[in-house]
Structure 1
Amino acid sequence: MSVPADVPMGDDPWSVLRGATRARVALGRAGDGLPTARWLEFRAAHAAARDAVHTALDAGLLRRAMAGAGVDRELLEVHSAAPDRATYLQRPDLGRRLADGTELPAGECDLAVVVGDGLSPRAVHDHAAGLVAALLERLAGWSVGPLVLAHQARVALGDPVGEALGARIVVVVIGERPGLSSADSLGIYLTHGPRTGRADSERNCISNVRPPHGLGYAQAADTLAALLTASRELGASGVVLKDEGVALPPGAG
């Protein structure tokens, strides 16, 4: 690695790279292991990831966050067929099905939005309200069904929810699997014609919504709104639907 000209002699040249990424690079060593500070940072990040997975979704907190973000819409709650968190983690298939006896209001709408806890309820607590508010601002002319908050949810739970609501397209906003540098990342999944049995190849995904370290709400909502419009015109989603937008915000790269 070459040292930039503006790095003073004697300074750690790796600090430039460390300042540009949250990845763990050039951590140093103490004998055959990591320096104590780096090891403690790793353990803290691992604990944060575990906590994010096991945190219970707080519906009341999310309702208040939605109201604070200006989202004035009916919010329904559903549960998957996984009765608790332990079962949810051991049986992904149950997280894709609605609990027996679930009733949702039948109707028709252009779009249903499902907010699911996924593998990081923390991400939902931190970012879902801001993202949903930004999205709704960009949906003039769309009929949007009631927002649905889903407990113990996998991505595919949006299919039976969207089908029950009579939605032509469903968007699932869900907590992503935490990494050791990102325990609060949201993913967005778009599926045209939601119904039970849809394949993952029939979905479009926008990942890593987590300002300031990932996508901001406005950029994610712009990308999603463009995909929604294209999906409605095409009558499909997934591998046949391409994101033609810019890959990076202005000035990035």
Structure 2
Amino acid sequence: MSDDLVTPSARAALWDRLRAASPARLALGRVGHAPPLGAVLAFQLDHARARDAVHAPLDSGALADELAPLPTIVVTSAAGDRATYLRRPDLGRALAAGCAEQLACGQGGYDVAIVIGDGLSATGVQTGAPRLVHSLIGELQGLTVAPIVIATGARVALGDPIGEALRARATVMVIGERPGLTVADSLGIYLTFSPRSGRADSERNCISNIHANGGLSAQHAASLLARLLREALRRGLSGVDLKDDADVLPAPDTKRIPE
């Protein structure tokens, strides 16, 4: 059908449906040769939120308080500060001097070690990790869980030396995901069986896009992780050979598209 035959109201209704289906910036319009001022300001605000999420420091003390009464241990990576962390991903995968000994002096020999890492969104960790971890603990009845480890300057692979030091059968890394221009506070979960330094990414299972703004809810993510973890412990593996075979997937927490 020619575009000339589409009425303005029908065209507007179509764009309304598409906007409801996606957080993408669609049909913003223009003022002269530029986008409308409101759209420009909204873009700049989202960009600022994404930058803040990357650069903001994690308040480990406040996070530990929100995790109470769960016991916590605070460690750092070998990246001494945020600027170094962003420039040197390799240092974010290694523990700072003395941290491995700090972890090894405890009981050890757990089924699972849960690590909370700031990653690339300390904002997401600060606001979403406590609820997610409490949901995880509720799903792991019958398993021995190490004290919750809060790690700053953390990349995903930092969970490997942490789990190794705790002598855990599996590590669950809850970490802030790289922010985008629609979501700056998303979390990811990475499951690794038999954690040790040098594990490949293909040996991990990932659950991503966990956030309250249309993403996977904390409870759905915890239920999915619990199924994967129990199967990983039963079969002695994780990664590409471990799939979630649940028949029912959680409903997406998104807005309904108008009829």
Q: Does TM, scored on the shorter chain, surpass 0.5?
A: yes
Q: Work out whether residues 76 and 148 of structure 1, in 8 Å CA contact, stay in contact via their aligned partners in 2.
A: yes
The alignment status of 1:109 with 2:110, answered yes or no, reads yes
Residue aligned with 1:27, SS: coil
Structure 1 stretches of 4+ with a deviation exceeding 6 A read: 250-253
Percent of aligned positions with the same letter in both sequences? 54
Q: Which amino acid aligns with 1:75?
A: T
Q: Work out whether residues 220 and 250 of structure 2, in 8 Å CA contact, stay in contact via their aligned partners in 1.
A: no
Q: For 1:83-140, what per-residue CA distance to the aligned partner results, in whole angstroms no more than 9, with x for missing partners?
A: 0000000000000000012121351000000000000000001110000011101111
Aligned to 1:59: 60
Residue aligned with 1:195, SS: coil
Aligned to 1:73: 70
Aligned-pair CA distance for 1:249: 1.8
Q: Which amino acid aligns with 2:75?
A: V
Distance, in Å, in 2 between the alignment partners of 1:31 and 1:234 is: 62
Q: Work out whether residues 76 and 153 of structure 2, in 8 Å CA contact, stay in contact via their aligned partners in 1.
A: yes
Distance, in Å, in 1 between the alignment partners of 2:111 and 2:10 is: 60
State which drifts further: 166-175 or 103-112: 103-112
The alignment status of 1:84 with 2:81, answered yes or no, reads yes
The alignment status of 1:234 with 2:235, answered yes or no, reads yes
Aligned-pair CA distance for 1:205: 0.3
State which drifts further: 18-27 or 94-103: 18-27
Q: Which structure shows the higher helix fraction?
A: 2
Q: For 1:150-175, what per-residue CA distance to the aligned partner results, in whole angstroms no more than 9, with x for missing partners?
A: 01000000000000001000000000
Aligned to 1:18: 19
Q: Which amino acid aligns with 1:135?
A: L
The alignment status of 1:96 with 2:93, answered yes or no, reads yes
Aligned to 1:128: 129
Cα distance change on mapping 1:101 and 1:251 into 2, 3 Å: closer
TM-score by length of 1: 0.91
Distance, in Å, in 2 between the alignment partners of 1:10 and 1:228 is: 48
Q: Work out whether residues 123 and 183 of structure 1, in 8 Å CA contact, stay in contact via their aligned partners in 2.
A: yes
Aligned to 2:162: 161
Cα distance change on mapping 1:38 and 1:146 into 2, 3 Å: same
RMSD: 2.0
Distance, in Å, in 1 between the alignment partners of 2:50 and 2:241 is: 34
Distance, in Å, in 1 between the alignment partners of 2:90 and 2:253 is: 42
TM-score by length of 2: 0.89
Distance, in Å, in 2 between the alignment partners of 1:177 and 1:202 is: 21
Aligned-pair CA distance for 1:212: 3.9
Aligned to 1:173: 174
Q: Work out whether residues 219 and 249 of structure 1, in 8 Å CA contact, stay in contact via their aligned partners in 2.
A: no
Q: For 1:155-207, what per-residue CA distance to the aligned partner results, in whole angstroms no more than 9, with x for missing partners?
A: 00000000000100000000000000010000000000000000000000000
Aligned to 1:33: 34
Aligned residues: 244
Q: For 1:48-86, what per-residue CA distance to the aligned partner results, in whole angstroms no more than 9, with x for missing partners?
A: 00000000000122122223xxxx221000000000000
Cα distance change on mapping 1:199 and 1:250 into 2, 3 Å: closer
Aligned to 1:249: 251
Distance, in Å, in 1 between the alignment partners of 2:47 and 2:12 is: 30
Distance, in Å, in 1 between the alignment partners of 2:119 and 2:218 is: 19
Runs (5+) with no aligned partner, structure 2 = 2-8
Aligned to 1:182: 183
